Amino acid sequence: MPASDTHLKAFLEMIAAERGAAQNTLDAYERDLTAYLAFLDQRQRALEASNSKDVQAYLQAISDEGLAAASRARRLSSLRQFYKFLTNEGVIGANPASGISGPKKARSLPKILSIDEVDRLIETASHRVEGQEGRNLFRALRFQCLLEMLYATGMRVSELVSLPRSVLRGDTRVLTIKGKGGRERLVPLNPAARDALDKYLAVSGRFDNSPWLFASKAAEGHVTRQGFALDLKDVASEAGIDAERVSPHVLRHAFASHLLDRGADLRAVQQLLGHADISTTEIYTHVLQERLKKLVNDHHPLAKK
């Protein structure tokens, strides 16, 4: 057995024994590293004598073959782990893959809804309230309030459904939200959201003793993210919108992109969303750029020539 194959076998035995790697993980490592060893063999390079130039040449070769960035990043990770093992075993002096940057993954643009589609969702939720009584009325008003507040504030769904009832103390035109990392931020409620909140509070007396604003009989004591998401998809279907395109997170995206589309400052949107880093918020500027490109390509008289 070639020395490189012996080292690979020893590496796989190590991650199986010491890390408890699953068989699928072992198979993936073996595929990735076998491909790399074959590449070294083609270059007539011994594994023990390989260096960073070999690793870079391999990454360039699989990139030229059209391998996706995510797959190339995984293969580089496999090489780092393998070379680290060889270093610890004294087979090589230094890890030639440790200082090589992985390929950048293309950042996918968030899915959003148009203003008209959001209006249809809200209108459908409003119609659901009509003619309801008792518990059905309570559930319909609770959902309407959740929907209005989500689109009005851009809150994360986990923040929204778990709002404490104490959030209503003081001026209800502005809510104090505790987000990721315990960071607090202020989010304003527009008139439509405040109206929906007032109507919901008028029928939520049965849960007055609950610490949660959107109390329910769920184990958590409040509406769950999953429950709200399912209700939202039902309303989307009623509104004639593909339910697969609609989720609480998509409405958060819609909140941000619609604000920027109307001229809002990027920093202000960052604060409203509770993003720690503005680079996270900047993805929405790309959404607007793509929308403008599509507008020009679809409607400019010279675009089709």
* Averaged pLDDT, 19-37: 90
Instruction: Give yes or no: residues 163 and 293 share one domain.
Output: yes
Phi then psi for 223, rounded to 5 degrees? -55, 140
What is the separation of C-alpha 64 from the centre of its chain, rounded to a whole number of angstroms?
29
Instruction: Give yes or no: residues 40 and 184 share one domain.
Output: no
| Per-residue pLDDT band at 105 (split at 50, 70, 90) | low
* Averaged pLDDT, 39-57: 92
Residue of 53 and 290 predicted with greater confidence: 53
Whether residue 86 contacts residue 46, with contact meaning beta carbons closer than 8 Å, is answered with no
Q: What is the CATH number of the domain that holds 16?
A: 1.10.150.130
Question: According to the model, what pLDDT value does residue 293 have?
Answer: 60
Instruction: Give yes or no: residues 123 and 23 share one domain.
Output: no
Tell me, yes or no, whether 279 lies in a domain.
Answer: yes
Instruction: Give yes or no: residues 79 and 133 share one domain.
Output: no
Structural tokens at position 209: 């003793």
Instruction: Report the alpha-carbon distance of residue 144 to residue 200 in Å, rounded.
Output: 8
Range of the domain at 74: 3-88
Instruction: Give yes or no: residues 156 and 274 share one domain.
Output: yes
Instruction: Give yes or no: residues 168 and 253 share one domain.
Output: yes
Highest mean pLDDT among 13-22, 75-84, 100-109, 278-287: 75-84
Instruction: Give yes or no: residues 212 and 276 share one domain.
Output: yes
Instruction: Give yes or no: residues 43 and 120 share one domain.
Output: no
Q: What is the CATH number of the domain that holds 244?
A: 1.10.443.10
**Closest by CA position to 86, among listed 60, 56, 51, 59:** 51
Residue of 265 and 151 predicted with greater confidence: 151
Polymer length in residues for the chain: 305
* Averaged pLDDT, 150-179: 90
> Active-site positions?
156, 180, 249, 252, 275, 284
Tell me, yes or no, whether 97 lies in a domain.
Answer: no
Instruction: Give yes or no: residues 64 and 187 share one domain.
Output: no
Tell me, yes or no, whether 104 lies in a domain.
Answer: no
Instruction: Give yes or no: residues 56 and 165 share one domain.
Output: no
Q: How far is CA 77 from CA 32, 81, 103, in A?
A: 10, 6, 11
User: How crowded is residue 27: how many other Cβ atoms within 10 Å of its Cβ?
Assistant: 12
With tokens 């993210």, the residue in question is 225
Instruction: Give yes or no: residues 8 and 152 share one domain.
Output: no
Tell me, yes or no, whether 79 lies in a domain.
Answer: yes
DSSP H or E segment with residue 126: helix 115-129
Q: Domain ends where: 69, 88, 107?
A: 88
Question: According to the model, what pLDDT value does residue 291 have?
Answer: 55
Tell me, yes or no, whether 95 lies in a domain.
Answer: no
| Per-residue pLDDT band at 172 (split at 50, 70, 90) | confident
Secondary structure of 196-222 as H, E, C letters: HHHHHHHHCHHHCCCCECCECCCCCCE
User: How crowded is residue 185: how many other Cβ atoms within 10 Å of its Cβ?
Assistant: 18
Question: According to the model, what pLDDT value does residue 12 have?
Answer: 93
Q: Which residues does 206 contact at the CB level (< 8 Å), separation at least 6?
A: 138
Q: Report the percent of the chain where pLDDT is more than 70.
A: 91
Q: Rounded to the nearest 10 degrees, what angle do helices 283-299 and 248-261 cross at?
A: 70
Residue of 41 and 282 predicted with greater confidence: 41
Least confident among 59-63, 120-124, 238-242, 285-289: 285-289
Instruction: Report the alpha-carbon distance of residue 263 to residue 258 in Å, rounded.
Output: 9
Question: According to the model, what pLDDT value does residue 141 have?
Answer: 96
Tell me, yes or no, whether 103 lies in a domain.
Answer: no
Instruction: Give yes or no: residues 147 and 288 share one domain.
Output: yes
Residue of 192 and 300 predicted with greater confidence: 192
Instruction: Report the alpha-carbon distance of residue 167 to residue 109 in Å, rounded.
Output: 33
DSSP H or E segment with residue 186: strand 184-188
Global pTM value: 0.60
Number of domains observed in the structure of the chain: 2
Q: Domain ends where: 88, 104, 125?
A: 88
* Averaged pLDDT, 280-295: 64
Tell me, yes or no, whether 222 lies in a domain.
Answer: yes
DSSP string, 139-167: HHHHHHHHHHHHHHH---HHHHHT-BGGG
**Closest by CA position to 79, among listed 17, 31, 116:** 31
Tell me, yes or no, whether 280 lies in a domain.
Answer: yes
Question: According to the model, what pLDDT value does residue 164 have?
Answer: 93
